[in-house]
């Protein structure tokens, strides 16, 4: 039987640990079961990327951009920095500069986050066809990402691809039948497609839910 | 024992495991075999299998040296036995040579429990004694961001990036 010393401060708290909980970190850590290696060190670039994310979460967009640009000054091909900078520019309302940041980056080099960011930029420029292609390709692999499917449905409706848009809204409503906003959009698109009776039923239902 | 060590030297943990298991079937109290088998499981990242053998080793009255206490804390952590991990981190922290490593890992463990304030306190304690400890400062910056203390997190990242 082992005995435990009476200790104070944070050490005492270690003795009353609760159940394991996976953190949802804004910045990474390997896993709850992996101890940080004493030898492991972080590169300045990796630390700057984490700092830029923290600044972004704190809505300090100008400072976050500065940090991303510092990284890109020494590593012009750093994709994570490019995507991060693109996001911050986009959220700051500067979609042209955001698009310019991603210009020249081959689409196949981008991860999902980067590709979806690119699609959003196409939407912002009203260049809908490449956005539809990116959203559709992504949804082939992740069909349950309803937020992205909603973006696809919206863009399909704006480009008058009504059968496709209707199919997209129906897929979302099958998974989320009580989503009033989606049902309302679905009703509107049905009316644009000339299916007025069905549209009225959906709009009525969206008011009752 | 020699055969088991030969297999280990040849990097054949699977064969060493068979030999040691067989030896322990014959005599379950052979301390060296228990410790060796626990080490085999630790080496092959099978923490859940290592834990019972370390527990048996300790129950038979064997003592661990401080480096082994730190290793045992890591094994308990790998096995998601966080309370036991914390206990051995504290034991390991009593040895000056590994005090900082043990305290950093303990604070990191606390952060994964969502006990951000205690983790922050732990990292700050380490940094008060060792301001140049980059691992502790990085972990502190991360925990502060997880806890939503963005300004403080930013400050720690900037300190980390500032050249000494």
pLDDT at A70: 96
CA separation, residue B49 to residues A125, A137, B22, B45 (Å) = 57, 43, 16, 9
Render the burial of B51-62: b for 16+ CB within 10 Å, e for the rest: bebbebbeeeee
Q: C-alpha dihedral over A9, A15, A21, A24, to 10 degrees?
A: 20
Q: Which of residues 27-56 of B touch A (CB under 8 A)?
A: 47
B1-63: CATH number: 1.25.40.10
pLDDT at A60: 96
CB A115, CB A107: distance < 8 Å: yes
pLDDT at A1: 34
B100-143 residue pLDDT tens: 999 999 999 999 888 999 999 999 999 999 999 999 999 999 99
B134-160 residue pLDDT tens: 999 999 999 999 999 999 999 999 999
3-state secondary structure of A30: coil
pLDDT at A36: 67
Among the partner-chain residues A10, A17, A24, the one whose CB lies closest to the CB of B122 is A10
In the block, which residue shows the tokens 């630390």? A47
Question: Which ipTM value was assigned to this complex?
Answer: 0.71
Is the fold of B1-63 the same as that of B64-164?
A: yes
3-state secondary structure of A28: coil
pLDDT at A31: 62
Task: Please tell me the pTM assigned to this model.
Answer: 0.68
Spatial neighbors of B38 by CB under 8 A, at least 6 apart, are B50, B53, B54, B57
| Interface residues from chain A to B (CB-CB < 8 Å) | 2, 4-5, 7, 9-11, 13-15, 17-18, 20-29, 32-36, 38, 40-42, 44, 47-48, 50-51, 53-55, 57-58, 60
Torsions phi, psi for A4 (to 5 deg):
-115, 135
Render the burial of A49-84: b for 16+ CB within 10 Å, e for the rest: bbbbbbbbbbebbebbbebbebbbeeeeebebbbbb
Rounded mean pLDDT of B12-33? 90
Per-block mean pLDDT, blocks of 10 residues, chain A (209 long): 34 39 44 60 90 95 96 93 92 88 83 90 91 96 96 97 97 95 96 95 88
Statement: residue B38 has pLDDT above 80:
yes
pLDDT interval class at B93 (50, 70, 90) = very high
> Which two three-digit tokens encode residue A42?
């972080």
Distance from A73 to chain B by nearest Cα, in Å? 16
pLDDT at A17: 41
Spatial neighbors of A55 by CB under 8 A, at least 6 apart, are A61, A63, A64, A67, B150, B154
CATH fold, domain B64-164, is 1.25.40
pLDDT at A176: 94
pLDDT interval class at B43 (50, 70, 90) = confident
Q: Is B114 on the interface with A (CB under 8 A)?
A: yes
The reply to whether residue B150 touches residue A35, judged by beta carbons under 8 angstroms, is no
CA atoms in the 13 A half-sphere facing the CB of A89: 25
pLDDT at B164: 62
Nearest CA in chain A to B123: A10
Among the partner-chain residues B77, B134, B153, the one whose CB lies closest to the CB of A33 is B77
pLDDT at A185: 96
List the domain boundaries for chain B.
1-63, 64-164
pLDDT interval class at B89 (50, 70, 90) = very high
């Amino acid at each position: 039987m082992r005995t435990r010393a009476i200790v104070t401060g944070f050490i005492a708290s270690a003795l009353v640990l609760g159940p394991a909980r996976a953190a949802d970190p804004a910045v990474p850590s390997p896993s709850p079961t992996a101890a940080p290696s004493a030898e492991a060190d972080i590169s300045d670039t990796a630390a700057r990327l984490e700092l830029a994310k923290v600044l972004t979460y704190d809505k300090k967009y100008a400072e976050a951009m500065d940090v991303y640009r510092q990284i890109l000054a020494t590593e012009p091909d750093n994709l994570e920095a490019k995507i991060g900078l693109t996001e911050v520019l986009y959220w700051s309302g500067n979609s042209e500069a955001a698009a310019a940041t991603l210009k020249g980056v081959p689409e196949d080099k981008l991860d999902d986050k980067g590709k979806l960011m690119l699609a959003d930029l196409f939407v912002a420029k009203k260049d809908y066809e490449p956005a539809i292609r990116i959203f559709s390709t992504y949804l082939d692999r992740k069909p349950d990402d309803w937020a992205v499917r909603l973006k696809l449905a919206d863009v399909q409706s704006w480009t008058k691809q009504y059968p496709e848009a209707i199919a997209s809204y129906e897929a979302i409503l099958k998974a989320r039948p009580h989503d009033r906003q989606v049902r309302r959009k679905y009703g509107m698109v049905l009316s644009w497609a000339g299916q007025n009776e069905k549209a009225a039923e959906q709009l009525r239902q969206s008011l009752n839910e | 024992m020699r055969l088991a060590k030969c297999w280990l030297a040849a990097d054949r943990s699977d064969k060493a495991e068979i030999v040691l298991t067989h030896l322990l079937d014959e005599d379950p109290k052979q301390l060296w075999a228990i410790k060796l088998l626990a080490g085999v499981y630790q080496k092959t990242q099978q923490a859940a299998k290592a834990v019972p053998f370390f527990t048996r080793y300790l129950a038979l009255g064997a003592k661990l040296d401080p480096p082994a206490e730190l290793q045992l804390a890591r094994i308990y952590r790998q096995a998601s036995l966080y309370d036991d991990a914390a206990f051995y981190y504290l034991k390991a922290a009593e040895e000056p040579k590994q005090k900082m490593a043990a305290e950093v890992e303990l604070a990191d463990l606390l952060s994964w429990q969502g006990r951000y304030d205690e983790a922050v306190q732990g990292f700050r304690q380490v940094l008060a004694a060792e301001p140049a400890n980059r691992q502790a400062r990085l972990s502190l910056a991360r925990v502060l961001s997880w806890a939503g203390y963005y300004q403080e997190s930013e400050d720690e990242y900037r300190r980390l990036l500032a050249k000494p």
